[in-house]
Amino acid sequence: MINTTMNQPCPGTNTNGSTRPPGMLEIDKGQGHTAANGHLIPAALMGSGIDLRNLVAEYEKFNNPYLSGGVEKQIREGVKSGNRMLVSIVPRYENVNSGIPTIVEYNYGTLGGVMKHCVLRQSPTGGTTTGSATCPGR
């Protein structure tokens, strides 16, 4: 589980091809889909793209555009606008024999503002979202 509070834009680091969290080969070779490194703490919140403790295996189309254009975009916009953000991110693994998180659960919002609870289920073609009515991708 990742919990953080930020109130200013702080660049994190991008991922690279040599840093590969568990589950990447499972997606690429085992399933024949394209894998992506997924930041748990987004780069906008100083999340590292090379520290394996901050990375999970994601399907490419879940990572971008589904996640980066949805929940992560809202978090980036909140930080860039100067808001103090509260963020909790929890990957959930429904298959104990897999390194791929089935669900990535986000709780986020501005300090003193409305919090969102967004549960994103990843798939090779993108994802689905449940939770708060205002979650992107619903």
Region 67-91 average pLDDT: 92
Q: Which domains does the chain have, with CATH numbers?
A: 2-131 (3.40.570.10)
CA distance 68 to 58: 12
- Per-residue pLDDT, 8: 43
- Per-residue pLDDT, 26: 96
Region 1-12 average pLDDT: 51
Question: Could you tell me the sign of the dihedral formed by the alpha carbons of 112, 117, 122, 127, in that order?
Answer: negative
- Per-residue pLDDT, 129: 97
Measuring CA to CA, how many Å separate 94 from each of 55, 56, 97, 121, 133?
A: 18, 14, 9, 11, 24
- Per-residue pLDDT, 117: 98
pTM of the model: 0.86
CA distance 7 to 15: 23
CA distance 123 to 95: 14
